[in-house]
């Protein structure tokens, strides 16, 4: 395929995300050469031979969105459970009654690889239509070696299509399968699943659902350390349902990120700041589950923790896959500033995935992953609740979605 050379002119605001803020260039332009950002300038740029000019009609341009926490691949939705929750049943009660993650496990195991692939592909197209150009995808609905590997193969195939970057994460320790003794299952994860995942080279990260009633901090540490032995970067579902030492263990094992964090301890937050662990906030989940606690954004800000925002897209606790809406919840439900939320779905999300040297900002040399919006001012991206602001999604300099 020929390399993509573009000039984006007539942009009201280019949000480069360079440095600490939004890196705004008013009345700017962007030149893309060979699929990478070549320059961001003030005023319009003269197109050179071989370059395609796009008139952005006085709208905002910013980096393609990075979604650093999703469960994109799964079989079956869970609308029944949603209805139960509306009737007052809690997450924990539903899980203990055999619902929750384990019901998705049943449907995922029954699905063929192509069925999982086709369903996930539809959802991925929808994500891209909302501006996502990089997405992390977890396994974790197999809880047996064959299905976990099948989910990761689906993630790899989706990435190979080339319209969205896919970062695969092994989450064998998402739950304990029915009728299994937990210690026996952990042994399976460590001694069979992790070596198989490593041998096939189909995951970059190892994740674990750390909660006192799922995998406690000691068990989670053992799994993540084993993952490290196989070259997988640790990340953790931490302190969501109750304070379980998740933030502390994320710091201890050198995790790239810790997600949820509705009830982290002060010591845990201090340890995360010290260790440079990115907090991946999932405000859509918190809102959807009507959870009593919310991530302590002010404390995180004060501690100097880098905060990213993700959808946590999954069939149970957040069937919402749009990063602009996750950012809106970040502001309205969690109290983030507009700047924090927009950095949260771009540069900081890239950092959570350790991809910040390649994506997340519009700086020379970075991949030309770009969103052209239909809004004249960047604050509209948050302010216009529920509006899809994406006019065009560009990945590596190629148009992968256009509003119709």
Nearer of residues 312 and 340 to Zn ion, judged by Cβ: 312
- Shortest Cβ distance from residue 260 to Zn ion (Å)? 7
Strand order in the sheet with 398-402: 36-42, 24-33, 6-15, 52-63, 370-373, 390-395, 398-402
- Shortest Cβ distance from residue 237 to Zn ion (Å)? 5
- Shortest Cβ distance from residue 378 to Zn ion (Å)? 28
- Shortest Cβ distance from residue 334 to Zn ion (Å)? 17
Nearer of residues 326 and 371 to Zn ion, judged by Cβ: 326
HSE-up (13 A, CA, CB side) for residue 400: 28
- Shortest Cβ distance from residue 129 to Zn ion (Å)? 22
Using CB positions, name the residue nearest to Zn ion.
312
Segment contacting Zn ion by CB under 5 A, of 121-129, 250-258, 304-312, 341-349: 304-312
- Shortest Cβ distance from residue 189 to Zn ion (Å)? 17
- Spatial neighbors of 166 by CB under 8 A, at least 6 apart, are 124, 134, 135, 136, 137, 155, 156, 158, 159
Strand order in the sheet with 233-238: 65-67, 132-138, 165-173, 205-210, 233-238, 257-260, 278-281, 307-309
Nearer of residues 312 and 369 to Zn ion, judged by Cβ: 312
Segment contacting Zn ion by CB under 5 A, of 37-45, 97-105, 309-317, 381-389: 309-317
Segment contacting Zn ion by CB under 5 A, of 20-28, 210-218, 307-315, 349-357: 307-315
Segment contacting Zn ion by CB under 5 A, of 112-120, 142-150, 306-314, 396-404: 306-314
Question: Binding mask 263-302 vs Zn ion (x if CB under 5 A, - otherwise)?
Answer: ----------------------------------------
Nearer of residues 211 and 312 to Zn ion, judged by Cβ: 312
Segment contacting Zn ion by CB under 5 A, of 89-97, 197-205, 310-318, 330-338: 310-318
Nearer of residues 219 and 312 to Zn ion, judged by Cβ: 312
The site for Zn ion, by CB under 5 A, has a size of: 1
Segment contacting Zn ion by CB under 5 A, of 37-45, 56-64, 102-110, 308-316: 308-316
- Spatial neighbors of 192 by CB under 8 A, at least 6 apart, are 145
Nearer of residues 312 and 356 to Zn ion, judged by Cβ: 312
Nearer of residues 12 and 169 to Zn ion, judged by Cβ: 169
Q: Considering only residues 311 through 330, tell me which ones interact with Zn ion, judged by CB under 5 A.
A: 312
In our burial notation (b when 16+ CB lie closer than 10 A, e otherwise), range 334-357 reads bebebbbbbbbbbbbbbbbbbbbe
**CA-CA-CA-CA torsion for 282, 284, 289, 290, nearest 10 degrees?**
100
- Shortest Cβ distance from residue 85 to Zn ion (Å)? 17
Among residues 260, 255, 257, the alpha carbon closest in space to that of 243 is found at 260
- Shortest Cβ distance from residue 214 to Zn ion (Å)? 12
The crossing angle, in degrees rounded to 10, of helices 266-275 and 246-253 is 20
Nearer of residues 318 and 400 to Zn ion, judged by Cβ: 318
The answer for 180, left when phi > 0, alpha when psi is -120 to 50, beta otherwise, is: beta
121 by Cβ neighbours in 10 Å (0-12 / 13-18 / 19+) ranks as: middle
Beta bridge partners of 260: 238
- What does DSSP say about strands 205-210 and 165-173: parallel, antiparallel, or unpaired? parallel
Nearer of residues 129 and 169 to Zn ion, judged by Cβ: 169
- Shortest Cβ distance from residue 69 to Zn ion (Å)? 6
Among residues 315, 372, 297, the alpha carbon closest in space to that of 78 is found at 315
Q: How far apart are CA 312 and CA 259, in angstroms?
A: 9
Which residues contribute to the site for Zn ion (CB under 5 A)? 312
């Amino acid at each position: 395929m020929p390399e993509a050379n573009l000039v984006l002119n007539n942009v009201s605001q280019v949000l480069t995300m360079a440095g600490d803020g939004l890196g705004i260039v008013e009345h700017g332009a962007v030149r893309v050469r060979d699929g990478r950002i070549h320059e961001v300038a003030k005023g319009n740029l003269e197109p050179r031979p071989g370059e395609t000019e796009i008139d952005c009609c006085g709208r905002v341009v910013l980096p393609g969105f990075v979604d650093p926490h999703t469960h994109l691949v799964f079989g079956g939705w869970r609308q029944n459970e949603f209805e139960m929750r509306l009737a007052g049943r809690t997450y924990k009660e539903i899980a203990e009654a055999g619902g929750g993650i384990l019901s998705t496990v049943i449907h995922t195991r029954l699905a063929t690889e192509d069925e999982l692939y086709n369903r996930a592909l539809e959802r991925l197209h929808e994500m891209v239509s909302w501006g996502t150009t990089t997405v992390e995808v977890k396994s974790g609905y197999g809880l047996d070696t064959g299905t976990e590997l099948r989910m990761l193969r689906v993630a790899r195939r989706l990435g190979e299509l080339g319209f969205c970057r896919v970062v695969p994460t092994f989450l064998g320790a998402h739950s304990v399968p029915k009728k299994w003794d937990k210690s026996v299952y952990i042994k399976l994860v460590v001694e069979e699943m992790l070596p198989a995942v490593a041998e096939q080279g189909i995951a970059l990260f190892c994740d674990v659902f750390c909660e006192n009633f799922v995998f406690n901090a000691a068990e989670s540490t053992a799994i993540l350390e084993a993952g490290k032995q196989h070259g997988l970067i640790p990340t953790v579902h931490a302190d969501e349902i109750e304070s379980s030492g998740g933030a502390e263990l994320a710091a201890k094992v050198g995790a790239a990120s810790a997600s949820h964090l509705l009830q982290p301890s002060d010591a845990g937050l201090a340890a995360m700041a010290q260790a440079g662990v990115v907090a991946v906030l999932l405000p859509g989940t918190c809102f959807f589950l009507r959870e009593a606690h919310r991530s302590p954004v002010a404390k995180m800000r004060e501690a100097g923790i880098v905060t990213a925002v993700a959808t946590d897209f999954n069939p149970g606790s957040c069937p919402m896959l749009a990063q602009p809406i996750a950012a809106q919840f970040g502001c309205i439900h969690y109290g983030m500033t507009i700047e924090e939320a927009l950095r949260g779905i771009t540069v900081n999300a890239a950092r959570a995935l350790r991809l910040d040297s390649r994506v997340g900002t519009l700086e020379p040399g970075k991949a030309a992953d770009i969103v052209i919006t239909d809004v004249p001012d960047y604050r509209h991206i948050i302010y216009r609740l529920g509006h899809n602001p994406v006019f065009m999604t560009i990945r590596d300099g190629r148009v992968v979605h256009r509003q119709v």
